[in-house]
């Protein structure tokens, strides 16, 4: 039965649940079964249901081939608990279902969950209004205005001119200079990132999938500007970082069998104990790495994990991961690097008797990456799908998007060039640093110019590629143009001569010896 892709939008998890239960009720084969010398019609065994549902989930575009048989059993248990199925005596409400030949049937009542017709208050609030509540010194561009370029300006020039004119107005109608603080710059980062995310998701509003009150623009700015040469976030507050023993264990597993940093002798099964240590740490974190508050957002990104939308999904996840608190982003980066290397390492010993390394990584760490604060029926399947995609594309997803940095810089430069209502007033202006007087500016201009000329002289002096003749020619020309600066560098003729070293001594010419004449032996 062909699956239908559930596109991003509100209550996507509920829609997926309804989709799976609908396909299961419509497609699960029903037949007669004998049990305890009795024949029952229109029923199925637990093992038959597991086989059929497992095949359905693995071939469903919303879940993928990473779904395991054990996850299918867990889903069937939830079906029994939620009265999607019942046993032959009509009993349901528990999760007592195993991979056996016990018989089950479909109830006459519909198991479809009701989707709320009215969105929660936070989803009906406007993202614009949340930013307006902050005491910004500039007006944020509206989300309803679509950009002309994917990674370019934030709107057409006339719209930006109107916004600039509005943001320069004060309550008394006068125009005055304004200074952007750190908080204002952070809000620019946050607003531009969300504009790009909304465009990538092709949604009329992010309010459908994201709670704007939970967005911290400072996290976006920090995650973009505090990265190592490998693109991993570094933390200024080390108390939020991974403990040293966890980092050592992760390094040991990522580089196995090289670079064993634990300073302990290895033994049979040592790698399993190290892996269990890392797994226990991540599984005991107070919340998943993608946080409870962004659960709805990442579940909606799963709707983009289709072959023809892979690049779109990567771009969307790249921006969504910037919303995370820096400690969470760092832990996610290091975890994905570790499990990706372990999955591709042919020298890694088998860590599980019945499961390959890749499947073990996905099943172990799925719930510590994504889960809901309140238990959701498809949590485990959705998390598996996301972690599998993160493993395969973590280098692209968790790197810094350069286009976002360029867009922010362009927007700040635009604000610097913004035209004011009264351009003839020299005191008015939009500035980002402390203003100085015209006299101070002229003095700084002279100092800066002289410093540049001095730097030019030094570059000539230290240029090893110039021949002595060319260097003397350039220095003579420089002395003619800037005699004062040249004199300060070479106050005496001795200091100038020292630049070229002592004159070479002239070697005495060798004596010219006359060739001896040889008499011919001929007569």
What Å distances lie between residue 148 and 152, 155, 164, 205, CA to CA? Answer: 7, 6, 18, 17
Low pLDDT (below 70) residues in the chain:
1-4, 116-180, 259-265, 416, 418-436, 445, 501-523
Short-list 60, 315, 324, CA closest to 202 = 315
C-alpha span between 366 and 107 (Å, rounded): 32
C-alpha span between 162 and 166 (Å, rounded): 6
Angle at 206 between CA 200 and CA 209, to 5 degrees: 100
Query: Going from the N-terminus, what domains does the chain have, and what CATH number goes with each?
Result: 12-105 (1.10.10.10), 122-227+402-435 (no CATH), 237-292+325-399 (no CATH), 438-500 (no CATH)
Task: Identify whether the C-beta of residue 206 lies closer than 8 Å to the C-beta of residue 296.
Answer: no
Task: Identify whether the C-beta of residue 222 lies closer than 8 Å to the C-beta of residue 326.
Answer: yes
Complete DSSP assignment for 431-486: ESS----HHHHHHHHHHHHHHHHHHHHHHHHT-TTS-HHHHHHHHHHHHHH-HHHH
- Residue 263 has what pLDDT? 54
Task: Identify whether the C-beta of residue 220 lies closer than 8 Å to the C-beta of residue 189.
Answer: yes
> Which single residue is written with the structure tokens 């994905």?
336
The phi, psi pair for 108, rounded to 5°, reads: -75, -25
Contacts of 427 (CB under 8 A, 6+ apart): 177
- Residue 262 has what pLDDT? 52
> Which single residue is written with the structure tokens 């500035």?
431
The phi, psi pair for 294, rounded to 5°, reads: -100, 15
> Which single residue is written with the structure tokens 């106050």?
491
Long-range Cβ contacts of 228-231 (<8 Å, 24+ apart) = 231/333, 231/398, 231/399, 231/400
C-alpha span between 334 and 322 (Å, rounded): 15
- Residue 159 has what pLDDT? 43
- Distance of alpha carbon 472 from the chain centroid: 54
Length of the chain: 523
C-alpha span between 330 and 228 (Å, rounded): 11
Short-list 130, 127, 188, CA closest to 163 = 188
Task: Identify whether the C-beta of residue 131 lies closer than 8 Å to the C-beta of residue 26.
Answer: no
Burial class (CB in 10 A: 0-12, 13-18, 19+), 513: exposed
Strands 103-105 and 38-45: antiparallel
| DSSP-derived 3-state class of residue 516 | coil
DSSP state of 504: P
User: Positive or negative CA dihedral for 446, 451, 456, 457?
Assistant: positive
Complete DSSP assignment for 79-145: HHHTTSSEETT---SS----SSS-EEE--SS--PPPPPSS--HHHHS-HHHHHHHS--SSPPPPTTS
Task: Identify whether the C-beta of residue 400 lies closer than 8 Å to the C-beta of residue 227.
Answer: yes
What is the 3-class SS of 310-373, one letter each residue? HHHHHHHHHHHHHHCCHHHHHHHHHHHHHHHHHHHCCCCCCCCCCCCHHHHHHHHHHHHHCCCC
| DSSP-derived 3-state class of residue 245 | helix
C-alpha span between 366 and 318 (Å, rounded): 19
Residues paired with 227 in a beta bridge: 233
């Amino acid at each position: 039965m062909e699956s239908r892709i559930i596109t991003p939008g509100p209550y996507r998890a509920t829609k997926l649940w309804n989709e799976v239960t609908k396909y299961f009720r419509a497609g699960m084969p029903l037949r007669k079964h004998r049990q305890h010398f009795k024949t029952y019609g229109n029923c199925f065994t637990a093992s038959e249901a597991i086989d059929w549902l497992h095949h359905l989930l693995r071939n469903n575009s919303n879940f993928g081939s990473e779904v395991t048989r054990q996850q299918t059993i867990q889903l069937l248990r939830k079906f029994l608990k939620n009265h999607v199925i019942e046993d032959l005596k009509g009993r349901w409400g528990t999760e007592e279902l195993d991979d056996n030949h016990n018989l089950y049937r479909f109830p006459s009542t519909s198991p479809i969950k009701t989707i709320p017709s009215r969105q929660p208050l936070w989803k009906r609030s406007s993202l614009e209004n949340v930013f307006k509540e902050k005491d910004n010194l500039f007006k944020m561009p509206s989300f309803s205005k679509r950009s002309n370029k994917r990674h370019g300006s934030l709107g057409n020039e006339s719209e930006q001119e109107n916004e600039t004119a509005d943001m320069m107005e004060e309550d008394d109608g006068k125009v005055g200079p304004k200074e952007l603080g750190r908080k204002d710059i952070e809000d620019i980062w946050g607003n531009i990132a969300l504009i790009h995310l909304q465009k990538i998701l092709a949604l009329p509003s992010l309010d459908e999938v994201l709670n704007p009150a939970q967005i911290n623009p400072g996290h976006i700015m920090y995650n973009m500007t505090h990265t190592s040469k490998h693109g991993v976030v570094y933390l200024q507050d080390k108390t939020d970082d991974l403990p040293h023993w966890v980092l050592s264990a992760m390094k040991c597993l990522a580089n196995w069998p090289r670079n064993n940093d634990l300073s302990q002798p290895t033994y049979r099964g040592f790698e399993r104990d190290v892996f269990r240590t890392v797994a226990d740490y991540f599984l005991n974190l107070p919340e998943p790495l993608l946080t409870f508050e962004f659960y709805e957002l990442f579940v909606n990104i799963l709707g983009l994990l289709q072959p023809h939308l892979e690049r779109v999904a990567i771009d969307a996840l790249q921006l969504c991961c910037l919303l995370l608190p820096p400690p969470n982003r760092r832990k996610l980066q290091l975890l994905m690097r570790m499990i990706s290397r372990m999955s591709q390492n042919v020298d890694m010993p088998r860590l599980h008797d019945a499961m390959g390394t890749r499947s073990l990584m996905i099943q172990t760490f799925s719930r510590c990456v994504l889960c809901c604060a309140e238990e959701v029926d498809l949590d485990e399947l959705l998390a598996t799908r996301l972690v599998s995609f993160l493993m395969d594309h973590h280098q692209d997803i968790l790197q810094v998007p350069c286009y976002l940095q360029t867009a922010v810089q362009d927007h700040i430069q635009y604000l610097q060039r913004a035209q004011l209502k009264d351009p003839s007033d020299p005191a008015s202006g939009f500035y980002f640093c402390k203003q100085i007087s015209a006299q101070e500016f002229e003095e700084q201009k002279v100092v800066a110019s002289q410093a540049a000329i001095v730097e030019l002289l030094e570059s000539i002096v230290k240029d090893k590629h110039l021949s002595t003749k060319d260097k003397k020619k350039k220095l003579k020309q420089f002395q003619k143009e800037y005699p004062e600066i040249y004199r300060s560098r070479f106050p005496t003729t001795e200091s100038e001569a020292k630049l070229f070293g002592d004159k070479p001594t002239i070697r005495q010419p060798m004596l010219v010896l006359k060739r001896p004449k040889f008499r011919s032996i001929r007569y």
